[in-house]
């Protein structure tokens, strides 16, 4: 049995819960400047994020020393003095926690800690790696009730397009010697070619996987410089995908652009009613303006791109303080509809910088609803990532891009947590992504790839090809709850109002 990785108990293991009442080593007993975040790994291990650093925290047993821990968990005996330094120069004391910084750990334990802290980005996966006459592969043994489509193709390759998932399932079946995908025995090893795996599922030590894990860990290094209670001083730029000639996905009379726009309007209303944030938009529907609509929304083509701020009128309605710049019924609406959005967001970012606004206090949210394989459900969030060519938007340095990757992931985690608290479905494979995968092409969505804003998220509200998601999206109550969760997450991320419980933030008057 591997060191420290004994059976995982539900909730907080008794030994861990008891040890939390004991003081840490003297060097780490002082309160941290930011909240300490922990996740249980096993009976004796916690993963922890504390003031920009990541650790495994081990409940020390009799006879353990810095040297023995360095040999069992770390990169070798040379790590022993560094472990002592991370714990104020102290040796481990039985019955107390001892911190093992991630940078000193073996690859398997480093990934274990990251997976415990960030399950939406690094889900656990029992894969076996091998090689045959056709090349390197990863094998997954199917469990009872699992389907080749959702539990293998979507989960491990990231493919979500309907036709692509079906075609790839057939290819994997052939590669694995499966004659009938409807009758795969439990425990049968399904082979997945290595080149099809998502980065997080590649073998330990693979440079692509390491780069991805570094991006996930980067979020810990980039925290907010100052809280903003009730979002005072925070500037939120809202966008809704498609519109005009480009309705986006259409499934059984449900139009992506109309329903994503309604979620956007609800977020805008809640922000203006309940917070002190400044709110801007890149798009307006000239028919409904910013009114929230009920039920199934019938399509129109009245959307235009705009440069403006959303304000409240004396009657309490929302209005645009700004100008329309492009009618999305015009020719070239699809291309300009994408490019102008991030250009508008970047222009606003430039203006705010000139006004002396802290860039960390600017957020860009783009709302969408995808059409994926019907087996998939729930919200998914795309965040900035690093492309192979290490492309950077105009005027952005590598350090600023790393900060954007980290901050965007932190905010995305907060939104998913709020959605879960509201019993709203989350996409499982994984829920936070930094790329779209279509066939052999992988790319970061343009609205988050090209923005110069430190917090840039593309939020997929649900999957229109899934009947349950589709039924929810046409309900006003679901769209209101979704919008409320996003606003609650923003307020909590920047700092809660005095005395306000998190679940009530978006409903304050």
Chain mean position to CA 341:
21
Which secondary structure element, helix H or strand E, spans residue 174, and what is its range? helix 162-176
The full set of domain ranges for the chain reads 14-117, 127-198, 228-507
Look at residue 213 in the predicted model and tell me its pLDDT: 87
Look at residue 8 in the predicted model and tell me its pLDDT: 35
* Structural tokens at position 108: 């398997």
| φ/ψ of residue 305, rounded to 5 | -80, 140
The β-bridge partners of 191 are 139
Contact 116, 47 (CB under 8 A): yes
Distance CA 460, CA 256 (A): 10
* Structural tokens at position 294: 């009920």
**Model's pTM, two decimal places?**
0.86
Residue with tokens 């994984």: 430
Distance CA 295, CA 317 (A): 20
Look at residue 24 in the predicted model and tell me its pLDDT: 35
**Superfamily of structural domain 228-507:** Zn-dependent exopeptidases (3.40.630.40)
Contact 146, 130 (CB under 8 A): no
What are the CA-CA distances from residue 387 to residues 265, 411, 436, 441 (Å)? 32, 21, 12, 12
Look at residue 497 in the predicted model and tell me its pLDDT: 41
Residue-level pLDDT, tens digit, the chain, 509 residues? 445 443 333 344 444 444 443 333 333 333 334 457 899 999 899 999 988 889 999 999 999 999 999 999 999 999 999 999 999 999 999 999 999 999 999 988 998 999 999 988 887 778 999 999 999 999 999 988 888 888 899 889 988 888 899 999 999 999 999 988 888 899 999 999 999 999 889 998 888 888 888 888 878 888 888 889 999 999 999 999 999 999 999 999 999 999 999 999 999 999 999 999 999 999 999 999 999 999 999 999 999 999 999 999 999 899 999 999 999 999 888 888 889 999 999 999 999 999 999 999 999 999 999 999 898 999 999 999 877 667 888 889 999 998 999 999 999 999 999 999 999 999 987 899 998 888 778 889 999 999 999 999 999 999 999 999 999 999 999 999 999 999 999 999 998 443 334 433 333 33
Contact 159, 148 (CB under 8 A): no
Buried b vs exposed e over 425-443: b needs ≥16 C-beta within 10 Å? bbbbbbbbbbbbbeeeebe
What are the CA-CA distances from residue 115 to residues 48, 88, 206, 504 (Å)? 11, 27, 17, 30
Contact 56, 5 (CB under 8 A): no
Task: Count Cα neighbours of 424 within 13 Å in the Cβ-side half-sphere.
Answer: 27
Beta strand ranges found along 264-331 (DSSP E)? 278-285, 303-312, 318-327
Look at residue 395 in the predicted model and tell me its pLDDT: 87
Q: Tell me the pairing of strands 235-240 and 362-370.
A: parallel
């Amino acid at each position: 049995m591997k060191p420290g990785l004994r059976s995982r108990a539900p909730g907080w293991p008794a030994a861990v819960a008891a040890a939390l009442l004991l003081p840490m080593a003297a060097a780490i007993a002082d309160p941290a400047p930011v909240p300490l975040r922990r996740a249980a790994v096993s009976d004796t291990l916690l993963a922890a994020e504390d003031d920009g650093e990541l650790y495994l925290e081990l409940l020390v047993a009799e006879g353990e020393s810095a040297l023995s821990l360095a040999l069992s968990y770390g990169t070798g005996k040379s790590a022993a003095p560094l472990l002592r330094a991370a714990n104020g120069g102290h040796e481990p004391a039985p019955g107390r926690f001892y911190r093992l910084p991630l940078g000193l750990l073996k690859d398997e334990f480093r990934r274990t800690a990251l997976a415990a802290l960030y399950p939406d980005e690094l889900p656990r996966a029992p894969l076996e790696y091998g090689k045959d006459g056709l090349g390197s592969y990863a094998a997954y043994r199917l469990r009872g009730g699992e389907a080749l489509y959702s539990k293998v193709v979507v989960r491990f390759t990231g493919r979500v397009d309907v036709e692509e998932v079906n075609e790839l399932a057939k290819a994997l079946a052939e590669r694995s010697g499966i004659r009938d995908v409807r009758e795969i025995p439990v425990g049968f090893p399904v082979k997945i070619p290595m080149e099809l795996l998502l980065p997080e599922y590649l073998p330990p030590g693979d440079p692509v996987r390491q780069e991805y894990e570094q991006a996930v860990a980067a979020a810990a290094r980039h925290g907010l410089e100052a809280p903003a209670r009730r979002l005072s001083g925070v500037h939120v730029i809202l966008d809704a995908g498609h519109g005009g000639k480009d309705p986006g996905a259409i499934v059984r009379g449900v139009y992506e652009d109309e329903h994503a726009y309604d979620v956007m309007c609800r977020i805008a209303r809640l922000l203006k009613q309940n917070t002190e944030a400044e709110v801007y938009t890149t798009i307006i529907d000239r028919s409904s303006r910013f009114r929230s609509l009920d039920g199934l929304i019938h399509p129109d083509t009245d959307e235009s791109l705009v440069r403006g701020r959303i304000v409240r009128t004396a009657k309490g309605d929302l209005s645009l303080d700004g100008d329309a710049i492009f009618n999305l019924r015009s020719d070239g609406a699809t291309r300009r509809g994408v490019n102008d959005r991030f250009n508008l967001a970047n222009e606003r970012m430039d203006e705010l910088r000139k006004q002396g606004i802290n860039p960390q206090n600017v957020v860009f949210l783009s709302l969408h609803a995808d059409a994926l394989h019907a087996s998939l459900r729930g919200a998914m969030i795309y965040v900035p990532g690093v492309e192979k060519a290490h492309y950077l938007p105009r005027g952005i340095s590598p350090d600023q891009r790393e900060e954007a990757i980290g901050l965007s992931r932190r905010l995305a985690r907060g939104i998913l947590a709020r959605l879960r608290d509201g019993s709203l479905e989350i996409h499982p494979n994984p829920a936070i992504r930094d790329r779209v995968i279509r066939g052999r092409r992988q790319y970061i969505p343009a609205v988050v790839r090209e923005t110069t804003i430190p917090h840039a998220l593309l939020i997929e509200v649900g999957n229109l090809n899934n009947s349950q998601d589709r039924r929810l999206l046409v309900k006003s109550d679901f769209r209101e709850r979704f919008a409320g969760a996003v606003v609650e997450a923003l307020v909590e991320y920047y700092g809660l109002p005095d005395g306000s419980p998190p679940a009530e933030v978006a409903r304050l008057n």
